[in-house]
Amino acid sequence: MPFPLQPGSTIGVLGSGQLGRMLAAAAARLGLRTHIYADAPGPAFDIAAETTVGRYDDWAKLTAFAHTVSVITYEFENVADATAQHLAKLLPVRPGPKALTVAQDRLVEKTFLSDLGIAIAPFQPIASAADLAAALPTGPARAILKTRRLGYDGKGQVGIDATTDVAAAMAEIGGAPTVLEQRLVFAREISVLICRAADGQDVVYDIPENTHRDGILRQSVVPAHVPPALTAHAHAIARRIADALDYVGLLAVELFDLGDKFPVTERLIVNEIAPRVHNSGHWTIDACAVSQFENHMRAVAGWPLGDPSRHSDAVMENLIGADALAWPSLAAEPGCCLHLYGKNEARAGRKMGHVTRLRAK
Amino acid sequence: MPFPLQPGSTIGVLGSGQLGRMLAAAAARLGLRTHIYADAPGPAFDIAAETTVGRYDDWAKLTAFAHTVSVITYEFENVADATAQHLAKLLPVRPGPKALTVAQDRLVEKTFLSDLGIAIAPFQPIASAADLAAALPTGPARAILKTRRLGYDGKGQVGIDATTDVAAAMAEIGGAPTVLEQRLVFAREISVLICRAADGQDVVYDIPENTHRDGILRQSVVPAHVPPALTAHAHAIARRIADALDYVGLLAVELFDLGDKFPVTERLIVNEIAPRVHNSGHWTIDACAVSQFENHMRAVAGWPLGDPSRHSDAVMENLIGADALAWPSLAAEPGCCLHLYGKNEARAGRKMGHVTRLRAK
């Protein structure tokens, strides 16, 4: 094995979005090069040392890409099994294919978490309108019907209650295999950003408290309003998941905190996991010595993990669609770290950038 | 004028070294692209959106380069007058050619500073061995003979005292035009990093205290051990220089502090200026909301300048030559921000990277 990679080595990254862009920037700090492979050019292309545009099932192109790099990682969890397996035959893919298999199918993920003894919302697979009709919540209870695959930022989800028109809901979800998940009443959403090295060591970041709107993350505030014991419990849950996946790299675990009416060990429900750097960790670029992006690349490269401690409190806000047009005033704001992803077109719902506002701890 | 440049615009940078690399990284945060033009590939090439290798007197290539960018800046002060003037006819060059003219000739620089009423070490031009013989210091006094042009990191300098062999000193300096400068006894070296916008507004960073060895910067510590009144005085000196140059971008002013036996207004002697981002400002990447690199690119792009305030104390150390081989232990050190420049060969005296150690204020 070539690990740790020497400075000057090249890390392959699947995906050209803003996460790939920030991964490339983080690698560059360490003197590591990146080669981005994606099915279309994107924000990551402008700062990568090398780029390839190719389909994710162009085996010859993927092989040629693999021959230019020392290890491969990815910025999105929907890398096809066949793609990951093709590349894994040629060189290490980190995180490994198991994390992808688990994370890209909600039913597999929920079963995996449940089997680990981790609390999740009650769920059941839904294959037909009849299944859904039989599973409709009663009274004021609510649920969410989610596609098993390819949902993100609130896409592929339909709210369900006792009055739902079953046929319309199935039509809206497009007939894809789904999971029906009970909608919980919670006090807050938080996430754990854990980075695990190949030797099993890990580092964890302070926990952000996350606010979504229209299914899209709007804001992450650090620190979250949770007691130290809950933080420790959340970290332990994330560690159990990362260990079970023999994970290498940064893993994000999204959780619901049911609130302080519950004992610490019963407050946390895992919502979902993401086998990649995560939007709720963008604040780490500006508020930590070593960001989630850099620690991910360190883990992938077999380097020692870096200090995740937070030197400042932080509020991260996504700039979505036209929000980014406010860049001149955001640029001038004291304590404001502005990040724009270099996307040309500010479409509604598109993540164009983010700001992290720093405050003294 | 196209200012402020819109996100997605491209800034041209002359020079492919680590300063260009960190400028490109800073621009990328803002969604600005960079096109690096240099006479040889270098560390900046790996993270620039576009690159061109060309001689600095290849007018056709420089013109083609200029047509791909909206504004041009540079990472080194020895851009030839003819190059700067050729480009300035095509589009804005920031900082303007006057800063280059002043900064790249020590005699012009010293005369400029002296004419501004700024205290500098006594100096005189030396054109011949006879000049030097007549100007030799007496008793224990010491001086430094410096080439007027192209010296950096202690190169092109010879120590001079009453016993100096004049012919040998002239031979060592290679017969280039020189300036003889009185060597001062000072308490510390400090620097001011000031960033000035085209409209005359500026921001200044907290002052680092700098330690050199063998003519190369080794360490910058922030804050410097100087009283607030001295900081204000240093900032005022830098502002006077930047205003006189109608400067746009980051200007570094290196000063000697003669120590607290002198009144505040007589403690500071300007050593030299650098019309570019500066090694003594590398700590701003990790200890400030907006780094010297980002503020330089903001000024060049006509953007609002960003908050230069320091959220942490910092000690920056250069990794020179074999120092960089310690990267595995530096990577693992708590509070340590590691930066490697992607240079292949760790030659003696070569700046390979730096670390910034953060401490709570």
B104: in domain: no
Nearest Cα residue to B286 out of B340, B335, B246: B335
Model confidence pLDDT, tens digit, residues A182-203: 999 999 999 999 999 999 999 9
CATH number, domain of B212, equals 3.30.470.20
Contacts of B335 in chain A (CB under 8 A): 289, 307, 309
Helix (H, G, I), strand (E, B) or coil at B351: strand
The contacts of residue A38 (CB under 8 Å, 6+ apart) are A14, A15, A16, A20, A44, A45, A51, A52, A53, A54
Q: Which residue of A has its CA nearest to B338?
A: A30
A283: in domain: yes
A201: in domain: yes
CA distance B241 to chain A (A): 24
Specify the residue for token string 């009185």: B182
Q: Which residue of B has its CA nearest to A43?
A: B31
| Same-domain check for residues B196 and B165 | no
Per the structure, the count of domains in chain A is 3
Q: What is the pLDDT of residue B155?
A: 73
Contacts of A330 in chain B (CB under 8 A): none
The contacts of residue A54 (CB under 8 Å, 6+ apart) are A37, A38, A39, A61, A62, A65
Instruction: Find out whether B160 and B145 touch, Cβ atoms under 8 Å.
Output: yes
B18 vs A65, B15, B246, CA distance in Å?
27, 9, 26
Contacts of B327 in chain A (CB under 8 A): 7
Q: What is the pLDDT of residue A234?
A: 98
Confidence of residue A215 (pLDDT cuts 50, 70, 90): confident
Instruction: Find out whether A270 and A102 touch, Cβ atoms under 8 Å.
Output: no
Contacts of A30 in chain B (CB under 8 A): 331, 338-340
Inter-chain touch B8–A344, beta carbons under 8 Å: yes
B286: in domain: yes
| Same-domain check for residues A211 and A287 | yes
| Same-domain check for residues B218 and B343 | yes
| Same-domain check for residues B210 and B347 | yes
| Same-domain check for residues B149 and B69 | no
Q: Give the DSSP per-residue string, A134-182.
A: HH---TT-EEEEEESSS--TTTTEEEEETT--HHHHHHHTTT--EEEEE
| Same-domain check for residues A205 and A344 | yes
CA distance B7 to chain A (A): 7
Of B45, B336, B344, the CB nearest to A289: B336
Interface with chain A: mutation pick from B297, B311, B345, highest number of A CBs within 10 Å: B311
Helix (H, G, I), strand (E, B) or coil at B254: strand
pTM here is 0.96
| Same-domain check for residues A66 and A46 | yes
Contacts of B19 in chain A (CB under 8 A): none
CA dihedral B50, B54, B55, B61 (to 10 degrees): -90
| Same-domain check for residues A139 and A200 | no
In this model, does residue A152 exceed pLDDT 80?
A: no
In 10 A of CB A94, how many CB atoms?
Answer: 23
Q: What is the pLDDT of residue B1?
A: 52
Contacts of A335 in chain B (CB under 8 A): 289, 307, 309
CA distance B234 to chain A (A): 23
Strand A142-147 and strand A157-161: the pairing is: antiparallel
Q: Distance (Å, rounded) from C-alpha A1 to C-alpha A203?
A: 23
B21 vs A356, B2, B172, B179, B245, CA distance in Å?
23, 25, 33, 32, 26
CA distance A166 to chain B (A): 45
Q: To which H or E segment does residue B121 belong? A: none
Domain boundary among A164, A182, A200: A182
Domain boundary among A131, A152, A182: A182
Inter-chain touch A332–B49, beta carbons under 8 Å: no
Inter-chain touch B340–A47, beta carbons under 8 Å: no
Inter-chain touch A49–B47, beta carbons under 8 Å: yes
ipTM score assigned to the predicted complex:
0.94
Q: What is the pLDDT of residue A1?
A: 52
CA distance B271 to chain A (A): 31
Inter-chain touch B4–A332, beta carbons under 8 Å: no
Q: What is the pLDDT of residue B154?
A: 64
| Same-domain check for residues A161 and A258 | no
Positive or negative CA dihedral for B92, B95, B99, B101? negative
Split chain B (361 residues) into runs of 10 and give each run's mean pLDDT. Answer: 90 98 98 97 96 98 98 94 95 94 94 97 93 91 90 78 92 87 96 98 98 94 97 98 98 97 96 97 98 98 97 98 96 97 87 97 90
| Same-domain check for residues B272 and B324 | yes
| Same-domain check for residues A216 and A163 | no
CATH number, domain of B32, equals 3.40.50.20
Contacts of B4 in chain A (CB under 8 A): 328
Nearest Cα residue to B176 out of B144, B214, B150, B143: B150
CA distance B296 to chain A (A): 13
Share of chain A above pLDDT 90, in %: 89
Cβ-based contacts under 8 A for chains A and B: 128
A100: in domain: no
Tokens of A186: 């919670």
The contacts of residue A340 (CB under 8 Å, 6+ apart) are A319, A324, A327, A352, A353, B7, B29, B30, B31
The contacts of residue A232 (CB under 8 Å, 6+ apart) are none
A90 vs A15, A60, A66, CA distance in Å?
19, 12, 7
A162: in domain: yes
Model confidence pLDDT, tens digit, residues A242-299: 999 999 999 999 999 999 999 999 999 999 999 999 999 999 999 999 999 999 999 9
Domain boundary among B93, B109, B139: B93
In this model, does residue A153 exceed pLDDT 70?
A: no
Inter-chain touch B337–A290, beta carbons under 8 Å: yes
B269: in domain: yes
Average pLDDT over residues A314-327: 96
Q: Distance (Å, rounded) from C-alpha B94 to C-alpha B83?
A: 13
B226: in domain: yes
| Same-domain check for residues B134 and B60 | no
| Domain that includes residue A77, residue range | 10-93
User: What are the φ and ψ backbone dihedral angles of A245, each rounded to 5 degrees?
Assistant: -90, 0
